[in-house]
């Protein structure tokens, strides 16, 4: 994986109004398949910086290099066709159907009909919209969230190695936004594009970005991975922008799997109660996690709540929902721990096989690093 | 009025017509019962009063004393004697034949509408409109002998009412539709009857007997009225039916006496009938002038509109100039054109004669049409969402591709609206072009004014109005057709 996109001392000065530098000597490198979120307060130059990459805005000085080629030497139109572009207002063409909208760039690139049809079909599947149902409908018939997915699909239609996204989820309500973000990350796992993602929302930047590029008044303040930016903010501005709760924000960056301990107190539910009682006293715990013979979670036994008539563990098991899959974020894990009385959380895999358990202490240790 | 109101057999409450389920007790209604109600409201009273007035006024010429006179050829006694004698010539000449045709046809139509047409039941009838109709018909009748303004006013008022009535019938299911068609055909048939056949002998005597011409119709109307009233009283299922029928009756009289009579007997339609060929020639000339001017205006206006969208500096100037152009009075504009084009003509070959006639008319009209077309193109292109354009640019579309694939399709309906304005305006202004020898329907007006023939003036005005209306309707359809499907769809609600 080599450097895909490289900005070298890129500067933009708008004529007039005191020659204020909208973007001042911005430099960073981006590896192939990485998402870089450009974030900062309004007027910090993040959108300007992004638009210089596909030359919607001209560069005053400096160089932008894509895949080893200086973009100032490329034909503007061809350059833009090789870069996916998704904007906040989506900008679907209302006079064209969904299928036609997605096919705009392939048509400009003069692909043949069959290839375009196949591409449209596949992209609609990728963004989770049924091609047969949606292909021939018009943008106005779709909800905002659906339109935004089409916008993303359209941006990817020309198979661009690089995509520029300007607050693509900005106009969508929080619930749908979260959903689209997750979906987009899933899509990104499949397609592995190099993405420059502009947002003003630090949470979104942390969630989406492999790298965060924090700008202020056109200057680059810090370019780092989310983890580093949250743990080692370069100065007070970064710390402020990341927010007082930046430690909590870091919880989003880790999975439950990373923090959990893999020695949970497990007992097979086919064992006798005697075995369970022995185990209780042996490891000095109040709860045991009951599993079946395949190791899948069936429930929990409370030491103080074993019915007198019970002979097997099975008879004493109470079902529980204090569990999460190992891919969940630590934030969800913490919240889940606090919503139950056990003091810990069971971590399972997709087949509900018990992998480990998680305490608040484990989280604390993970955050310490 | 005796009205039969359907009631639910279960809960004895009133039902809407043709309902299969009672909305009070929610039981399905198999055998609807009827309750007879004697209802007598202000509208009924007003109707009766006006009916009497109309009747009296219709038969006024027979009073007093002439009722049985043999000197009055139209007195019932005289008519009866002629019928007994089978005096065919008399019957034809006084339109008795038509009366004989009309009575059964009209009765049959109303019969269909009243109690076979089971759709025609639930219109909330605009009673006030009826009263106005009757009032105006009385006044029309009174002023008929004076002619002129009243007749024309009434004619236009009732042509509107007539269309409304047909539309009401049309909405009421198959039978209503059939009866509306039949009624329409009936009116048309009566027009053509006058135009081509019975009228020849009949009109020869018209000068002598003023009322003779409409007499047959009124007779028919009276008989139909009685027949229908009988039918109504026994079969009517709601008061709306009654009003509907009365409206039909009243309207047929009004339509006849105000539309058919003044138009065909002495009015502008007679002028058209007499000058059929000339009318079409001038219509074609009119359409040609407006059409060529429009093509020129679109071919220049749209590109100019596109240009000024991209060069905001030029926009102000261009729009200002075209605004000034449109304020020049048309007669002055034609005046300017003549010397300018003559100069060009002289410089060119001096014999083509473009200084007068069609050429200056077309040039002037295209200048007038420029403003609506340029302005609408400019506004339409400006109103395309900038975000969408930026998305297109960002995807690597050239300006031309953006224009063809996005901006023009989105602007087409607004540009078309500009074309509509230009056409309707052009048809009106082209009337003036007759004065510089360009021909067209304006010729009827200018000649009519010179020779003091009112019918020619009115005929020209009507023809141009109709042309403008038809052109507007046609262009509205075109506007709808040209609007991209994606824009017509309503926003999804989430």
Residue B98 has pLDDT above 50, yes or no: no
Q: Which of A104, A111, A129, A158 is most worth mutating to test chain B (most B CB atoms within 10 A of its CB)?
A: A104
Domain count within chain B: 3
Q: What is the mean pLDDT of residues B286-310?
A: 92
A57–chain B nearest CA distance, Å:
10
- Choose the weakest-confidence range: A76-80, A313-317, B278-282: A313-317
Residue B33 has pLDDT above 90, yes or no: no
Confidence band, pLDDT 50/70/90 cuts, at residue B298: very high
pLDDT for residue A100:
92
Confidence band, pLDDT 50/70/90 cuts, at residue A125: confident
pLDDT for residue B181:
60
Query: Do B483 and B348 share a structural domain?
Result: yes
Which residues are CB-neighbours of B147 under 8 A, at least 6 positions away?
A: B262
- Whether A80 and B401 lie within 8 Å, measured CB to CB: no
| Residues of chain B contacting A97 with CB distance shorter than 8 Å | 486
Task: Give chain A's mean pLDDT.
Answer: 84
| Residues of chain B contacting A79 with CB distance shorter than 8 Å | 396
Task: For residue A154, give its domain range.
Answer: 3-253
Task: For residue B437, give the nearest of B284, B285, B291, B265 by alpha carbon.
Answer: B285
For residue range B39-57, list pLDDT tens digits in order: 545 545 555 555 554 444 4
Query: Do B143 and B245 share a structural domain?
Result: yes
| Residues of chain B contacting A136 with CB distance shorter than 8 Å | none
pTM of the complete model: 0.61
| Residues of chain B contacting A92 with CB distance shorter than 8 Å | 388, 391
Query: Do A243 and A218 share a structural domain?
Result: yes
Using a CB–CB cut-off of 8 Å, the residues of B that contact A are 385, 387-398, 401, 405-406, 409-410, 484-487, 489-492, 494
Q: What is the mean pLDDT of residues B116-142?
A: 44
Domain membership of residue B494 (yes or no) is no
Confidence band, pLDDT 50/70/90 cuts, at residue B1: very low
Asked if B264 and B33 touch (Cβ cutoff 8 Å), the reply is no
pLDDT for residue B79:
64
Domain membership of residue B411 (yes or no) is yes
Q: What is the mean pLDDT of residues B197-214?
A: 41
A166 → chain B, closest CA residue: B391
| Residues of chain A contacting B389 with CB distance shorter than 8 Å | 91
For residue range A184-232, list pLDDT tens digits in order: 888 888 888 899 999 888 888 888 888 899 888 888 888 888 888 888 8
| Residues of chain B contacting A51 with CB distance shorter than 8 Å | 394
Domain membership of residue B87 (yes or no) is yes
- Whether B395 and A87 lie within 8 Å, measured CB to CB: no
Which residue among B397, B486, B494 places its CB closest to the CB of A94? Answer: B486
Query: Do A208 and A128 share a structural domain?
Result: yes
pLDDT for residue B380:
92
Which phi and psi angles does A209 have, rounded to 5°? -85, 140
Query: Do A288 and A162 share a structural domain?
Result: no
Pairwise pLDDT comparison (B4 vs A135), residue with the higher score: A135
Query: Do A173 and A299 share a structural domain?
Result: no
Query: Do A246 and A183 share a structural domain?
Result: yes
| Residues of chain B contacting A48 with CB distance shorter than 8 Å | none
> Looking at B218, B236, B266, which one is the last position of a domain?
B266
Using a CB–CB cut-off of 8 Å, the residues of A that contact B are 51, 54, 56, 77-83, 85, 87-97, 104-105, 108, 138-144, 151, 154, 158, 164
pLDDT for residue A258:
79
> Looking at B217, B243, B266, which one is the last position of a domain?
B266
Query: Do B251 and B308 share a structural domain?
Result: no
Q: Is B34 helix (H, G, I), strand (E, B) or coil?
A: strand
B301–chain A nearest CA distance, Å:
23
Percentage of residues of chain B with pLDDT beyond 70: 43
Burial of A277 (0-12, 13-18, 19+ CB in 10 A): middle
Query: Do B143 and B283 share a structural domain?
Result: no
Q: Is B303 helix (H, G, I), strand (E, B) or coil?
A: helix
pLDDT for residue B461:
86
Query: Do B301 and B260 share a structural domain?
Result: no
Whole-angstrom Cα distance, residue B194 to residue A139?
A: 57
Domain count within chain A: 2
Task: For residue B261, give its domain range.
Answer: 40-266
Query: Do B396 and B329 share a structural domain?
Result: yes
Range from A216-220, B199-203, B213-217 that averages highest in pLDDT: A216-220
Query: Do B290 and B323 share a structural domain?
Result: yes
- Whether B394 and A138 lie within 8 Å, measured CB to CB: no
Pairwise pLDDT comparison (B389 vs B209), residue with the higher score: B389
Query: Do A73 and A99 share a structural domain?
Result: yes
Place of tokens 């490329």: A74
pLDDT for residue B205:
43
Which residue among A94, A154, A164 places its CB closest to the CB of B410? Answer: A94
Query: Do A86 and A142 share a structural domain?
Result: yes
- Whether A143 and B391 lie within 8 Å, measured CB to CB: no
Q: Is A10 helix (H, G, I), strand (E, B) or coil?
A: strand
Whole-angstrom Cα distance, residue B186 to residue B195?
A: 14
Query: Do A106 and A23 share a structural domain?
Result: yes
Query: Do A362 and A268 share a structural domain?
Result: yes
Query: Do B35 and B114 share a structural domain?
Result: no
Pairwise pLDDT comparison (B162 vs A258), residue with the higher score: A258
Q: Which of B386, B486, B490, B491 is most worth mutating to test chain A (most A CB atoms within 10 A of its CB)?
A: B486
- Whether B395 and A56 lie within 8 Å, measured CB to CB: no
pLDDT for residue B491:
59
- Choose the weakest-confidence range: A209-218, B141-150, B313-322, B424-433: B141-150
Q: What is the mean pLDDT of residues B290-315?
A: 92
Residue B301 has pLDDT above 90, yes or no: yes
Residue B219 has pLDDT above 80, yes or no: no
Q: Find the CATH number of the domain harbouring A19.
A: 3.40.50.300
Residue B423 has pLDDT above 60, yes or no: yes
Domain membership of residue B271 (yes or no) is no
Count CB neighbours of B63 within 10 A. Answer: 9
- Spell out the alpha helix ranges (H) of chain A: 46-53, 76-81, 98-102, 104-108, 113-126, 131-134, 144-156, 174-191, 202-208, 226-231, 236-242, 246-250, 256-259, 273-283, 313-316, 330-338, 360-368
Q: Is B26 helix (H, G, I), strand (E, B) or coil?
A: coil
Place of tokens 């996109």: A5
Percent helix, percent strand, percent coil in chain A, to nearest 5:
40, 25, 35
- Whether B387 and A88 lie within 8 Å, measured CB to CB: yes
Q: What is the mean pLDDT of residues A87-101?
A: 87
Which residues are CB-neighbours of B418 under 8 A, at least 6 positions away?
A: B301, B372, B373, B375, B376, B377
- Choose the weakest-confidence range: A355-359, A365-369, B9-13, B391-395: B9-13
Residue B297 has pLDDT above 60, yes or no: yes
pLDDT for residue B201:
42
Pairwise pLDDT comparison (B347 vs A79), residue with the higher score: A79
Query: Do B456 and B335 share a structural domain?
Result: yes
* Cα dihedral A309, A313, A318, A322 in deg (nearest 10): 160
Residue B37 has pLDDT above 70, yes or no: no
Domain membership of residue B493 (yes or no) is no
> Looking at A231, A253, A275, which one is the last position of a domain?
A253
Q: What is the mean pLDDT of residues B126-144?
A: 47
- Whether A85 and B395 lie within 8 Å, measured CB to CB: yes
Residue A270 has pLDDT above 50, yes or no: yes
**Cα B51 from chain centre:** 27
- Choose the weakest-confidence range: A152-156, B224-228, B391-395: B224-228
Pairwise pLDDT comparison (B12 vs B266), residue with the higher score: B12
For residue range B345-401, list pLDDT tens digits in order: 777 766 666 667 788 888 889 998 988 999 999 999 998 888 888 888 888 888 899
Query: Do B205 and B59 share a structural domain?
Result: yes
Q: What is the mean pLDDT of residues A349-367?
A: 83
B308–chain A nearest CA distance, Å:
22
pLDDT for residue B302:
93
> Looking at B234, B266, B298, which one is the last position of a domain?
B266
Which residue among B405, B486, B490 places its CB closest to the CB of A139? Answer: B486
Confidence band, pLDDT 50/70/90 cuts, at residue A272: confident
Q: What is the mean pLDDT of residues A300-326?
A: 81
pLDDT for residue B299:
94
> Looking at A253, A270, A293, which one is the last position of a domain?
A253
Residue A137 has pLDDT above 80, yes or no: yes
Angle separating helix axes B173-192 and B96-111, nearest 10 degrees:
170
Q: Which of B391, B415, B487 is most worth mutating to test chain A (most A CB atoms within 10 A of its CB)?
A: B391
Query: Do A237 and A291 share a structural domain?
Result: no
Confidence band, pLDDT 50/70/90 cuts, at residue A347: confident
Q: What is the mean pLDDT of residues B71-86?
A: 63
pLDDT for residue B292:
92
Query: Do B290 and B253 share a structural domain?
Result: no
- The Cα diameter of chain A in Å comes to 87
B464–chain A nearest CA distance, Å:
36
| Residues of chain A contacting B485 with CB distance shorter than 8 Å | 95, 138
Query: Do B422 and B288 share a structural domain?
Result: yes
Q: Which of A55, A86, A95, A107 is most worth mutating to test chain B (most B CB atoms within 10 A of its CB)?
A: A95
Query: Do A115 and A96 share a structural domain?
Result: yes
For residue range A36-71, list pLDDT tens digits in order: 999 888 878 888 888 899 888 888 888 888 888 888
A95 → chain B, closest CA residue: B486
Query: Do A228 and A140 share a structural domain?
Result: yes
Size of interface A-B (CB pairs under 8 A): 92
> Looking at A253, A279, A314, which one is the last position of a domain?
A253
Residue B218 has pLDDT above 70, yes or no: no
Confidence band, pLDDT 50/70/90 cuts, at residue A268: confident
Q: Find the CATH number of the domain harbouring A349.
A: 3.10.580.10
- Whether A144 and B494 lie within 8 Å, measured CB to CB: yes
Which residues are CB-neighbours of B415 under 8 A, at least 6 positions away?
A: B302, B305, B373, B376, B377, B380
């Amino acid at each position: 994986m080599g450097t895909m996109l490289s900005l070298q001392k890129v500067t933009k000065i708008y004529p007039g109004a005191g020659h204020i530098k909208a973007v001042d000597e911005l430099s960073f490198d981006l590896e192939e398949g990485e998402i870089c979120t450009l974030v900062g307060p309004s007027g910090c130059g993040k959108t300007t910086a992004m638009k210089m990459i596909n030359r919607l805005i001209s560069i005053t000085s400096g160089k932008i290099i894509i895949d080893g080629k200086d973009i100032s030497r490329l034909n503007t139109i061809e350059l833009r066709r090789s870069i996916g572009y998704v904007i906040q207002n989506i900008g679907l063409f209302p006079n064209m159907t969904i299928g036609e909208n997605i096919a705009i760039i392939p048509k400009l690139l003069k692909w043949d009909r069959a290839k375009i049809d196949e591409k449209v079909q596949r992209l609609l599947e990728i963004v989770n919209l049924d091609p047969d149902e949606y292909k021939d409908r018009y943008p106005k018939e779709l909800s905002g969230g659906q339109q935004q997915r089409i916008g993303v699909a359209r941006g990817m239609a020309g198979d661009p190695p690089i995509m520029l996204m300007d607050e693509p989820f900005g106009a969508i309500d929080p619930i749908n936004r979260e959903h689209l973000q997750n979906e987009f990350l899933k899509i990104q796992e499949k397609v592995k594009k190099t993405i420059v993602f502009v947002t003003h929302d630090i949470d979104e930047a942390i969630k989406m970005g492999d790298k965060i590029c924090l700008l202020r008044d056109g200057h680059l303040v810090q370019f780092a991975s989310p983890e580093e930016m949250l743990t080692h903010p370069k100065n007070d501005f970064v710390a402020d922008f990341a927010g007082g709760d930046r430690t909590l924000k870091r919880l989003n960056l880790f999975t439950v799997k990373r923090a959990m301990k893999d020695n949970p107190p497990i007992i097979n539910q086919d064992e006798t109660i005697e075995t369970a009682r022995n185990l209780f006293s042996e490891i000095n715990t109040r709860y045991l996690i009951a599993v079946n013979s395949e190791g899948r979670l069936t429930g929990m036994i409370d030491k103080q709540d074993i019915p007198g008539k019970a002979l097997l563990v099975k008879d004493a098991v109470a079902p529980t929902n204090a569990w999460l899959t190992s891919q969940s974020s630590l934030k969800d894990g913490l919240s889940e721990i606090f919503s139950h009385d056990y003091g810990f959380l069971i971590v399972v895999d997709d087949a509900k096989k018990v992998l480990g358990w998680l305490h608040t202490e484990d989280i604390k240790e993970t955050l310490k690093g | 009025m005796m009205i039969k109101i359907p009631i639910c057999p279960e809960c004895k409450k009133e039902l809407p017509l043709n309902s299969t389920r009672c909305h009070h007790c929610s039981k399905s209604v198999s055998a609807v019962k009827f309750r007879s109600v004697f209802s007598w409201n202000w509208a009924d009273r007003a109707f009766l009063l006006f009916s009497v007035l109309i009747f009296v006024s219709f038969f006024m010429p027979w009073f007093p004393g002439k009722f049985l006179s043999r000197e009055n050829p139209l007195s019932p006694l005289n008519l009866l004697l002629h019928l007994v004698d089978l005096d065919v010539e008399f019957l034809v000449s006084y339109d008795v034949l038509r009366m004989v045709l009309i009575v059964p046809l009209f009765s049959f139509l109303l019969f269909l509408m009243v109690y076979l047409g089971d759709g025609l039941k639930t219109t909330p009838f605009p009673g006030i409109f009826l009263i106005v109709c009757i009032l105006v018909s009385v006044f029309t009748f009174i002023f008929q002998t004076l002619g002129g303004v009243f007749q024309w006013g009434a004619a236009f008022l009732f042509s509107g009412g007539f269309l409304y009535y047909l539309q009401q019938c049309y909405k009421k299911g198959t039978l209503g539709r059939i009866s509306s068609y039949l009624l329409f055909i009936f009116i048309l048939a009566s027009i053509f009857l006058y135009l081509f056949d019975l009228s020849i002998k009949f009109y020869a005597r018209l000068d002598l007997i003023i009322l003779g011409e409409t007499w047959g119709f009124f007779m028919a109307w009276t008989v139909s009225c009685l027949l229908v009233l009988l039918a109504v009283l026994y079969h009517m299922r709601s008061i709306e039916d009654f009003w509907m029928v009365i409206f039909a009756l009243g309207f047929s009289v009004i339509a006849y006496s105000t539309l058919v009579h003044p138009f065909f007997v002495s009015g502008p339609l007679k002028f058209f009938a007499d000058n059929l060929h000339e009318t079409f020639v001038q219509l074609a000339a009119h359409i040609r002038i407006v059409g060529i001017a429009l093509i020129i205006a679109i071919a220049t206006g749209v590109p100019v509109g596109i240009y000024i969208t991209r060069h905001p500096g030029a926009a102000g100037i261009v729009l200002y100039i075209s605004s000034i152009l449109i304020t020049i009075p048309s007669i002055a504009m034609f005046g300017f054109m003549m010397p300018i084009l003559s100069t060009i003509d002289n410089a060119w070959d001096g014999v083509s004669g473009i200084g007068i006639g069609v050429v200056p008319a077309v040039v002037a009209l295209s200048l007038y049409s420029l403003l609506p077309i340029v302005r609408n193109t400019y506004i339409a292109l400006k109103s395309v969402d900038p975000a969408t354009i930026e998305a297109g640019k960002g995807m690597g579309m050239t300006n031309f591709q953006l224009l063809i694939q996005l901006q023009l399709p989105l602007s087409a309906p607004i540009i078309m609206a500009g074309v509509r304005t230009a056409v309707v305006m052009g048809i009106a202004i082209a009337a003036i072009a007759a004065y510089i020898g360009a021909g067209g329907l304006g010729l009827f007006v200018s000649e009519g004014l010179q020779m003091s023939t009112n019918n020619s003036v009115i005929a020209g005005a009507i023809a141009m109005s109709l042309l403008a209306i038809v052109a507007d309707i046609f262009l509205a359809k075109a506007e709808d057709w040209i609007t991209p499907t994606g824009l017509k769809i309503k926003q999804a609600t989430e």
